[in-house]
Amino acid sequence: MNVEEYREYCISKKGVTESFPFNETTLVFKVMGKMFALCGLDNVPLRVNLKCDPERAIELREEHDGIIEGWHMSKKHWNTVYLDRISKELTKELIDHSYDLVVSKLTKKVKAELEAL
């Protein structure tokens, strides 16, 4: 998956916005104001940070050399994923998982707002 495909997939999800809150090269995706994915556009090779269930995060890191502890993030809750080392299908699955984790933690009110979009 290249950066354009990654961006298109993230932004296509319901309630998602994109911004550069940290600097001009770190692209951040949020669902209802909560971050679920980010990447440094100047990173070569391209790598992205995605939220992950802690137990699954460990399993993924053991199974895939392209998945490591979250770079500059909580090592327990975030993975750094090298997009050139894992399949497009797995990348999409991990983006979905990150998005779903964040949505599951939203308040009832914000979840209702998301559903109404």
Structural contact between residues 71 and 47, judged by C-beta atoms closer than 8 angstroms: yes
User: How many angstroms separate the CA atoms of 61 and 58, rounded?
Assistant: 5
Q: What is the pLDDT of residue 111?
A: 97
User: How many angstroms separate the CA atoms of 115 and 117, rounded?
Assistant: 6
Q: Which of 64, 69, 57 is nearest to 86 (CA)?
A: 64
* pLDDT tens digit at each of 117 positions of the chain: 999 999 999 999 999 999 999 999 999 999 999 999 999 999 999 999 999 999 999 999 999 999 999 988 888 999 999 999 999 999 999 999 999 999 999 999 999 999 999
Digit-coded pLDDT (tens) for 69-91: 998 888 899 999 999 999 999 99
Q: What is the pLDDT of residue 75?
A: 87
